[in-house]
Amino acid sequence: MPIRAAITAVHGYVPPDVLTNAELARMVDTTDAWITERTGIKERHILKGEGLGSSHMGAQAVAGLLAKTETDPGEIDLLICATTTPDFVHPCTANLICDMVGIRNIGSFDIQAACSGFIYALTTAHQFIAGGTYKKVVVVGADKMSAIVDYTDRATCVLFGDGAGAVLLEPNSDGYGIIDTMLRSDGSGAKYLHQKAGGSRMPPTDETVAKRMHYVHQEGASVYKFAVAGMAEATTELMARNNLRPDMIDWVVPHQANRRIIETTAERLGLPIDKVMFTIQKYGNTTTATIPLSLWDYETKLKKGDRLLLAAFGGGFTWGGAFVTWAYDGATASKLNGNAPASKLVKSSWL
């Protein structure tokens, strides 16, 4: 059996503040009924607090992961953070997370592939482990979307939330773990989903701020069409390549952007909806965190040997998926209720 990267633990973090549809209806011209019907979202969590960025949530998720697996930070060989909302342009968020949880002297870096970032990071981590030298790799998806969402744009602000999720990957030679992955991108899709200002092409100025160019710009209906096609391509290609019939799939773990996109994906695959993980109703679209947060939420239902199909679509455009054989019984894994003790985190003192 080849060496595969197996997910051996998962943990998540969502900040305590909740933004409900009813509250959004007081901020923009929308209703709970519209948001629920068009997206499936009822509420989302928002990170509040001065000086707190994506690294704060990522560090909480990673600290919880280390605590629940009784892993010493010194045992981790590599940490990859997928994020679209890094704390800073540099240093990268992975470096900050390592510092906050006490992981020292290892490689750590960010991956930016918008909502597909977790799939890209998982695929990258898999290569390090399959190469034979890396034994414990952490992949964390963390996004503070509330930092780049325009809360006067009703078509966009209802969709997103903040959160983080992390997985521990370890080598497995018994047939469990990441069996296959696929990644795709098409940069011509940038016009439909992007943030114009704040990067090197258009550094922030008074004008870019006044024109609200440092917020997510999305043409929702166009993105919707591409998302349905991308999710279908990722899942059907992985199923065909691995000779999987619908009845052989135990769980689909889709990126949570819109309930209707997920339902269409399941329909096209011929899969009953009860085999699909849904967390969008309570977290919204947390970008890179949706897939690990879903795994965390459903962890107790996952059984060793379950076949999972992960799929995501996002800005770029980017899309992709992973076929994973689950490596442990989630019901017997110690699921930490709540979050890791904050005292375990180091606060950056230089800001």
Q: List contacts with ligand COA (CB under 6 A).
A: 30, 34-35, 38-39, 115, 154-155, 158, 220-221, 223-224, 227, 257-258, 285, 313-314
- Helices 93-101 and 54-68 sit at what angle, rounded to 10 degrees? 50
Nearest-10 crossing angle of helices 117-130, 290-297: 80
CB of 31 to ligand COA, least distance (A): 7
Cβ atoms of 309 and 236 closer than 8 Å: no
| Distance between CA atoms of residues 143 and 83, nearest Å | 6
Catalytic-residue membership of 255:
yes
Q: What's the token pair of residue 344?
A: 């375990």
Identify the CA nearest to 234 among candidates 217, 252, 220: 252
State whether the Cα torsion 40-280-257-55 is positive or negative.
positive
Peptide bond into 91 cis (omega under 30): yes
Q: Choose between 155 and 202: whose C-beta lies nearer to ligand COA.
A: 155
Measured from the Cβ of residue 99, the count of other Cβ atoms closer than 10 Å reads 18
Query: Does residue 285 have an active-site annotation?
Result: yes
- Cβ 344 to ligand COA shortest distance, Å: 32
> Which of 154, 282 has the CB closer to ligand COA?
154
User: Distance (Å, rounded) from C-alpha 147 to C-alpha 83?
Assistant: 13
Smallest gap from Cβ 91 to ligand COA, in A, equals 26
Give the residue at shortest CB distance from ligand COA.
220
Residue 114 Cβ vs ligand COA, minimum distance, rounded to whole Å: 7
Rounded least distance, CB 116 to ligand COA, Å: 8
What span, in angstroms and rounded, lies between the C-alpha atoms of 284 and 256?
Answer: 7
- How far apart CA 37 and CA 196 sit, in angstroms, is 30
Q: Which residue, 283 or 328, has its beta carbon nearer to ligand COA?
A: 283
Distances (CA, A) of 12 to 140, 266, 289, 293: 9, 25, 8, 6
Residues forming beta bridges with residue 109, ordered by sequence position: 80
Of these residues, 81, 92, 98, 115, which one is catalytic? 115
For ligand COA, the closer CB: 112 or 285: 285
Q: How far is the CB of 117 from ligand COA (least distance, A)?
A: 10
* Side chain identity at residue 338, one-letter code: G
The residue type at 316: G
Cβ 153 to ligand COA shortest distance, Å: 9
Which lies closer to ligand COA via its Cβ, residue 222 or residue 332? 222
Cite the DSSP H helix spans in the chain: 21-27, 32-39, 54-68, 93-101, 117-130, 154-157, 206-210, 220-241, 259-269, 280-283, 290-297
Residue number with CB closer to ligand COA (143 or 170): 143
From 21, 172, 258, 285, active-site residue: 285
Nearer to ligand COA, 260 or 282 (CB): 260
Known catalytic residues are 115, 255, 285
